[in-house]
Chains A and B, each alone.
Chain A
Protein backbone atom coordinates (compact mmCIF):
# COMPACT_ATOMS: atom_id res chain seq x y z
CA UNK A 1 0.00 0.00 0.00
CA UNK A 2 1.25 3.49 -0.83
CA UNK A 3 -0.01 7.01 -0.18
CA UNK A 4 -0.76 8.45 -3.63
CA UNK A 5 -3.07 11.33 -2.69
CA UNK A 6 -3.64 13.62 0.24
CA UNK A 7 -5.73 16.76 0.45
CA UNK A 8 -6.17 20.20 1.93
CA UNK A 9 -9.53 21.97 2.15
CA UNK A 10 -9.33 25.32 0.37
CA UNK A 11 -11.85 28.15 0.32
CA UNK A 12 -11.15 29.05 -3.33
CA UNK A 13 -9.72 26.48 -5.75
CA UNK A 14 -8.31 28.91 -8.34
CA UNK A 15 -6.70 31.09 -5.67
CA UNK A 16 -5.29 27.93 -4.11
CA UNK A 17 -3.94 26.73 -7.46
CA UNK A 18 -2.12 30.03 -7.93
CA UNK A 19 -0.63 29.90 -4.43
CA UNK A 20 0.42 26.25 -4.57
CA UNK A 21 1.97 26.63 -8.06
CA UNK A 22 3.21 30.23 -8.42
CA UNK A 23 4.26 30.77 -4.79
CA UNK A 24 5.15 27.32 -3.47
CA UNK A 25 6.34 25.94 -6.83
CA UNK A 26 4.22 22.81 -7.28
CA UNK A 27 2.75 22.04 -10.72
CA UNK A 28 -0.80 21.21 -11.75
CA UNK A 29 -1.35 17.50 -12.38
CA UNK A 30 -5.08 17.13 -13.06
CA UNK A 31 -8.06 19.45 -13.33
CA UNK A 32 -11.35 17.70 -14.03
CA UNK A 33 -14.45 19.92 -13.88
CA UNK A 34 -17.09 18.55 -11.48
CA UNK A 35 -20.09 20.87 -11.44
CA UNK A 36 -19.15 24.11 -9.72
CA UNK A 37 -15.72 22.87 -8.66
CA UNK A 38 -12.99 20.58 -9.99
CA UNK A 39 -10.93 17.58 -9.11
CA UNK A 40 -7.77 19.62 -8.87
CA UNK A 41 -4.40 18.21 -7.88
CA UNK A 42 -0.80 19.42 -7.82
CA UNK A 43 2.48 17.53 -7.60
CA UNK A 44 6.08 18.35 -6.86
CA UNK A 45 7.95 19.20 -10.11
CA UNK A 46 10.74 16.88 -8.94
CA UNK A 47 8.28 13.97 -8.59
CA UNK A 48 5.56 14.38 -11.26
CA UNK A 49 4.37 10.81 -10.62
CA UNK A 50 4.68 11.14 -6.86
CA UNK A 51 2.04 11.84 -4.22
CA UNK A 52 -0.66 14.24 -5.41
CA UNK A 53 -2.11 17.00 -3.29
CA UNK A 54 -5.85 17.49 -3.83
CA UNK A 55 -7.03 21.09 -3.45
CA UNK A 56 -10.46 20.18 -2.14
CA UNK A 57 -13.32 22.72 -1.86
CA UNK A 58 -14.35 23.43 1.73
CA UNK A 59 -18.11 23.52 1.06
CA UNK A 60 -19.02 20.97 3.73
CA UNK A 61 -20.42 22.82 6.78
CA UNK A 62 -18.12 20.92 9.16
CA UNK A 63 -14.97 22.10 7.39
CA UNK A 64 -14.94 25.79 8.26
CA UNK A 65 -15.14 25.38 12.06
CA UNK A 66 -12.64 22.51 11.81
CA UNK A 67 -10.15 24.65 9.89
CA UNK A 68 -10.68 27.63 12.19
CA UNK A 69 -9.97 25.51 15.27
CA UNK A 70 -6.78 24.08 13.74
CA UNK A 71 -5.54 27.52 12.69
CA UNK A 72 -6.28 28.99 16.13
CA UNK A 73 -3.98 26.44 17.77
CA UNK A 74 -1.35 26.73 15.02
CA UNK A 75 -1.85 23.16 13.79
CA UNK A 76 -0.82 22.55 10.16
CA UNK A 77 -3.15 20.87 7.67
CA UNK A 78 -0.21 19.35 5.79
CA UNK A 79 3.56 19.04 6.00
CA UNK A 80 5.95 19.23 3.05
CA UNK A 81 9.59 18.18 2.94
CA UNK A 82 12.22 20.74 1.92
CA UNK A 83 16.01 20.60 1.79
CA UNK A 84 16.57 23.82 3.74
CA UNK A 85 13.86 25.35 5.92
CA UNK A 86 15.77 28.62 6.41
CA UNK A 87 16.22 29.11 2.64
CA UNK A 88 12.54 28.34 1.98
CA UNK A 89 11.49 30.73 4.75
CA UNK A 90 13.54 33.47 3.15
CA UNK A 91 12.21 32.72 -0.34
CA UNK A 92 8.55 32.53 0.74
CA UNK A 93 8.68 35.49 3.14
CA UNK A 94 10.12 37.47 0.22
CA UNK A 95 6.95 36.65 -1.69
CA UNK A 96 4.79 37.95 1.15
CA UNK A 97 3.95 34.60 2.75
CA UNK A 98 3.05 34.96 6.44
CA UNK A 99 4.68 32.57 8.88
CA UNK A 100 3.03 31.61 12.17
CA UNK A 101 6.26 29.86 13.16
CA UNK A 102 9.66 30.95 11.86
CA UNK A 103 12.30 28.25 11.26
CA UNK A 104 12.75 26.35 14.51
CA UNK A 105 15.22 23.71 15.59
CA UNK A 106 13.09 20.90 17.01
CA UNK A 107 15.89 18.46 17.78
CA UNK A 108 15.97 15.94 14.95
CA UNK A 109 14.15 18.22 12.53
CA UNK A 110 13.91 21.89 11.56
CA UNK A 111 10.36 23.12 10.92
CA UNK A 112 8.45 26.27 10.04
CA UNK A 113 4.74 26.95 9.58
CA UNK A 114 3.06 29.41 7.21
CA UNK A 115 -0.43 30.43 6.02
CA UNK A 116 -1.53 29.17 2.59
CA UNK A 117 -3.98 32.13 2.13
CA UNK A 118 -6.81 29.58 1.72
CA UNK A 119 -7.47 28.96 5.40
CA UNK A 120 -4.74 26.42 6.16
CA UNK A 121 -1.44 26.35 7.95
CA UNK A 122 1.29 24.38 6.19
CA UNK A 123 4.43 23.01 7.83
CA UNK A 124 7.73 22.65 6.00
CA UNK A 125 10.30 20.31 7.51
CA UNK A 126 13.86 19.19 6.90
CA UNK A 127 15.41 16.29 8.78
CA UNK A 128 18.78 17.13 10.28
CA UNK A 129 21.73 14.97 9.31
CA UNK A 130 22.04 12.18 11.86
CA UNK A 131 25.09 12.55 14.09
Chain B
Protein backbone atom coordinates (compact mmCIF):
# COMPACT_ATOMS: atom_id res chain seq x y z
CA UNK B 1 0.00 0.00 0.00
CA UNK B 2 1.33 3.46 -0.89
CA UNK B 3 1.89 5.74 2.06
CA UNK B 4 -0.71 8.41 2.71
CA UNK B 5 1.91 11.16 2.37
CA UNK B 6 2.63 9.97 -1.16
CA UNK B 7 -1.02 10.50 -2.11
CA UNK B 8 -1.22 14.10 -0.88
CA UNK B 9 2.17 14.94 -2.33
CA UNK B 10 1.14 13.50 -5.69
CA UNK B 11 -2.02 15.62 -5.79
CA UNK B 12 -0.27 18.84 -4.74
CA UNK B 13 0.92 19.72 -8.23
CA UNK B 14 -1.15 21.20 -11.09
CA UNK B 15 0.69 19.27 -13.83
CA UNK B 16 0.10 15.97 -12.03
CA UNK B 17 -3.58 16.84 -11.62
CA UNK B 18 -3.77 17.60 -15.38
CA UNK B 19 -2.19 14.20 -16.08
CA UNK B 20 -4.91 12.56 -13.98
CA UNK B 21 -7.59 14.61 -15.82
CA UNK B 22 -6.36 13.32 -19.17
CA UNK B 23 -6.01 9.71 -18.00
CA UNK B 24 -9.47 9.83 -16.43
CA UNK B 25 -10.86 11.00 -19.80
CA UNK B 26 -8.99 8.39 -21.79
CA UNK B 27 -7.34 5.30 -20.40
CA UNK B 28 -4.33 3.43 -21.81
CA UNK B 29 -2.09 6.26 -22.94
CA UNK B 30 1.57 6.13 -23.82
CA UNK B 31 3.95 8.78 -22.51
CA UNK B 32 4.02 10.29 -26.01
CA UNK B 33 0.23 10.60 -26.19
CA UNK B 34 0.03 12.13 -22.72
CA UNK B 35 2.73 14.70 -23.46
CA UNK B 36 0.99 15.62 -26.72
CA UNK B 37 -2.34 16.13 -24.92
CA UNK B 38 -0.76 18.18 -22.13
CA UNK B 39 0.97 20.40 -24.68
CA UNK B 40 -1.90 20.79 -27.14
CA UNK B 41 -4.83 20.97 -24.71
CA UNK B 42 -3.40 22.33 -21.45
CA UNK B 43 -0.52 24.45 -22.76
CA UNK B 44 1.83 22.53 -20.46
CA UNK B 45 5.23 22.69 -22.13
CA UNK B 46 7.04 20.28 -19.81
CA UNK B 47 9.61 17.92 -21.30
CA UNK B 48 8.95 14.21 -21.70
CA UNK B 49 11.47 13.58 -18.94
CA UNK B 50 9.58 15.88 -16.57
CA UNK B 51 6.23 14.22 -17.36
CA UNK B 52 7.84 10.82 -16.92
CA UNK B 53 8.99 11.87 -13.44
CA UNK B 54 5.51 13.15 -12.61
CA UNK B 55 4.12 9.76 -13.69
CA UNK B 56 6.57 8.02 -11.36
CA UNK B 57 5.26 10.11 -8.44
CA UNK B 58 1.65 9.28 -9.39
CA UNK B 59 2.50 5.59 -9.71
CA UNK B 60 4.15 5.57 -6.28
CA UNK B 61 0.94 7.06 -4.87
CA UNK B 62 -1.08 4.34 -6.59
CA UNK B 63 -3.02 6.87 -8.70
CA UNK B 64 -1.51 5.64 -11.96
CA UNK B 65 -0.93 2.06 -12.97
CA UNK B 66 1.18 1.02 -15.93
CA UNK B 67 1.17 -2.04 -18.12
CA UNK B 68 3.36 -3.12 -20.98
CA UNK B 69 1.59 -4.27 -24.14
CA UNK B 70 3.88 -5.45 -26.90
CA UNK B 71 6.80 -3.03 -27.15
CA UNK B 72 5.04 -0.10 -25.50
CA UNK B 73 4.13 0.97 -21.97
CA UNK B 74 0.69 2.38 -21.22
CA UNK B 75 -0.80 4.31 -18.29
CA UNK B 76 -4.17 4.12 -16.54
CA UNK B 77 -5.79 6.28 -13.85
CA UNK B 78 -6.75 4.46 -10.65
CA UNK B 79 -8.95 6.44 -8.26
CA UNK B 80 -8.95 3.76 -5.54
CA UNK B 81 -6.42 5.56 -3.26
CA UNK B 82 -8.79 8.58 -3.12
CA UNK B 83 -11.23 6.48 -1.13
CA UNK B 84 -8.91 6.94 1.87
CA UNK B 85 -9.59 10.69 1.75
CA UNK B 86 -13.38 10.30 1.85
CA UNK B 87 -13.14 7.64 4.54
CA UNK B 88 -10.97 9.84 6.75
CA UNK B 89 -13.14 12.92 6.31
CA UNK B 90 -16.62 11.71 5.29
CA UNK B 91 -18.50 14.11 3.06
CA UNK B 92 -21.52 15.56 4.97
CA UNK B 93 -24.94 14.71 3.61
CA UNK B 94 -23.80 11.48 2.04
CA UNK B 95 -24.48 7.95 3.30
CA UNK B 96 -24.07 7.77 7.05
CA UNK B 97 -23.05 4.15 7.29
CA UNK B 98 -19.90 5.05 9.25
CA UNK B 99 -21.89 6.98 11.90
CA UNK B 100 -22.50 5.26 15.28
Chain A interface (Cβ < 8 Å from any Cβ of B): 68, 71-76, 98, 100-101, 104, 106-109, 111, 113, 115, 119, 121
Contacts and interface: CB of A to CB of B under 8 A. Distances in A.
Contact of B31 (A68, A73, A98, A108): A73
Interface string B7-48: 000000000000000000010011111001100110000001
Number of contact residues on B: which range applies? 10 to 19
Contacts of A106: 36-37, 40-41
A71 B52 CA distance: 15
A40 B41 CA distance: 39
Given A106-B41, A111-B36, A119 B30 contact: no
- Main secondary structure on A side of the interface with B: mixed
A72 B72 contact: yes
Given A72-B68, A72-B73, A108-B40, 11 more contacts: A73-B32, A74-B32, A74-B33, A75-B30, A101-B29, A104-B26, A104-B33, A104-B37, A106-B41, A111-B36, A115-B71
